[in-house]
A and B are shown apart, each in its own frame.
Chain A
Amino acid sequence: MTAPAAVPALGITARLRAALVDASKATVVAFGLFFIMVGLRTDVSPTGALFLRTRWLDVALLCAAVFVSRLALALWLGRRKPEVGPAWQAAALSRAGLLFGPALLALALILPFVPGIGRYELDLGILVLTYVMLGWGLNIVVGLAGLLDLGYVAFYAVGAYAYALLAQYFGLSFWICLPLAGILAAFWGVLLGFPVLRLRGDYLAIVTLAFGEIIRIVLLNWVELTGGPNGISGIPRPTFFGLPFSMSGGPQTFAGFFGLEPSPSHRVIFLYYLILALALLTNWVAIRIRRQPIGRAWEALREDEIACRALGINITNTKLTAFALGAMFAGFAGAFFATRQAFISPESFTFIESAIILAIVVLGGLGSQIGIAVAAIVMIGGFELFRDLDEYRMLVFGAAMVVIMVLRPRGLVGSRAPSVLLGEQRRIDARFVGEGRG
């Protein structure tokens, strides 16, 4: 670490003056916004006519709050800037970070048996794990290969519909459809990959976005095959290697075979472990492949595409494998989603899903497995946590995201772990790592 540039020590009065000016500016901006958005309000009078109601007190309070908090922030940051965290603190933090992953995994493994974990918590766990898996899958495309994909949900949809349709028309079981869904999604990944190979950055993002919408609109309008907006219902639930989860308790059911009391929670626990296993598979593949030539080529592609070409790396194939592998995991997740819900419709695969998955990847730190897991827990779990706030939920949620991005602009885990080392373990500072330009 280089020592921070010597900052001339400002006097307390000078700092206070600067902070006051800064806070005043912020207050003027806040007044400009709140004057219209809060100060003026149209209401319907008892006679049915519109009238303008003013709320100047609220505006004044909000502006005062902005002034005070901005002043405090300016003073606090001004004081803090020259400081550098002590080295032992950073070392302790990184050691804690090493234990964090295994601890999280252990918690995930025993979660269904922790006392106080009910149906609701397990359902939430399944939801979070689905997004963890999708985040890890998208991370291959966005985090490693640096290709900004805004239509990732399309592959999720392909996986879900692949299972639903194969089960409906051909009566295939979940365990046969799971790999098929992955293969079909990977196929569509390659199909999308071909035309967009030459595009970079913003253009790539727009085309992938369009692709995501095309898939959804086809699903919506091809009524004979997909049922259109009505979706597909009655999708078979998964079986425990042929043993259905049924309340009848017969010998050919899960409960009967193992001599258990039939309970609806068996299926939930089974689904929980199923998605946990799928997510861990995604994680394992991503970790292993990073240390392989193809994984390194993805990261090299993110860093500098032209240099890759000069080293004999086939850009086309490298990008296509990233698209295909990322899409395959979305396909697996989609098949799981279909069997869990037993009902799917195009509603579930809107752009906002892609945005949430991308937000998880960016928030977690491009390329970081553990960061993405934490980001998924924060995003999906946090969203549930704020449920009581009703209409302010989105506001609080948005503010939380802004705060995280201000404090950690490269995501929760911004540094990069090298894929191969001669000496001891160390990480690469985020400022060197490229973000990819598509």
Chain B
Amino acid sequence: MTRASNRPPVVPPEAALPSYLRAGYTLRSWLLTTDHKRIAILYLVSISFFFLIGAIAAALIRLELLTPAGDLLTNDGYNRAFSIHGIIMVWFFLIPSIPNTFGNFLIPLMIGARDLAFPRLNLLSWYIYVVAGLITLYVVLSGGVDTGWTFYTPLSSVYANGAVVAAILAVFISGFSSILTGLNFIVTVHKLRAPGMTWGRLPLFVWSHYATSIIFVLATPVLAITLLLVAAERLFGIGVFDPALGGDPLLFQHLFWFYSHPAVYIMILPALGVISELITSAAHKRIFGYWFVAYASIAIAVIGFFVWGHHMFVSGQSYYASAIFSFLSIAVAVPSAIKVYNWTATLYKGDIELNAPLLYAMGFIGLFVAGGLTGLMLAMLAIDVHVHDTYFVVAHFHYIMVGGTVTAFFGAMHYWWPKITGRLYPEAWARASALVILVGFNVTFFPLFLLGYEGMPRRYHVYPESFQVLQVISSCGALLLAAGYLLPVAYLGWSLFRGAKAPANPWGATGLEWTTSSPPPKHNFIEQPVVERGPYDYPISDPLSRSND
């Protein structure tokens, strides 16, 4: 297939160099590795574990909501279930999900580097993540936390009686992992691009991770200090949020959302990057409007810092502020819309292979559009006053985070599976699972929009009977969705041992990561690649394409 280099073929013959997977077999060779690809695998294992725990909490929630009465969980038990679900899914799955696995694995490969700029720091961020994760497990085992993932004061600082400080500590520590990862990515992209890899030739996956890293570095410390203030208030009564002391609980919300709204973009931007790669590779065509898509990522990261107030329209903040935040929230939707339209235009006159990654990508676009446009509804002040803190919001952000990020995560998993493991996955099964996930997701979460508009507040474990039908539909959908998520685990696991050996470039894609062997050797490339063309320079290769003039 196409090479990015004019030098002799950089794809080594099989077994010329041992792959990174064969660079050592001991546990030590994994736990003390500084190879970005192995660290990516370590992350993959650990975030999958936390996804499982978060999913168990979600299963408890959906089971409880089958009936209007609180019969499975007590009120406090339910509160702990959704709190732990939120905390684990946000900080221990979604935020590290794509950046720390695929970003870690692919960024050096995509820019022609031997590793990230600071390999030991990379390993350190994984250990920090693990320590934070262990504390979270302690929180789960010691009875959980009952504040919700948002830790609103004064509930969290004075009234809650769960393991709040431990949970805060866990999130606080995990933040350092994010900061170090972001720092590493930024420096790597600036300083380790291969010769010829100009900014205009960076794959869009790298652009979106660059934007994500900016948020990692600039937003996470604000969360750190905010949580520190909550912990100080709870432990020592040294507080600035408690109104009983003259403090301002809205200040907490401002600081919290100053991090947590950009954090939403931490979760979705890497997914947008994944989709750009999946679409171009499947369509065998250059992305439509490279610069629009690249700068859209940066625009989202930058504008994303100025929209936090849209979480606070009914909190009592000034209505002038609300009107401005509403406007900015509409503005931040523009770059996302650009991406969606440009992806669609990329398919035009493509040479489209309807493979599983493309199915995931198209599923992603559908769900992301639904999530994004309902987000636009939430940015409308008068609508938000009605649906704020209801299931409408729950449905909206699950469309973005589960329908968006998790779907993209699965798409990336299939697309780069041959590169990561050196094996091909069974295509038919993969297409089936993509469809099951798409259907299961919509059955689970679409009814929640209706519930929200009808006025069911979130975080209710008992509810009026009139809401039951939709809740039951949603719980049934969750069962289907769980099956959709378990299917890939089964056939991808099977392919690890029985799958056909993957060639270096099974998709005929143009990215640098496909010029090295599958799986790549320890330092990625046998010799330094030199880049001479853009990331998506696909020629028209199929003779049929040209016949019909």
A binds B: no
Give me the interface of B with A, judged by CB distance under 8 Å: none
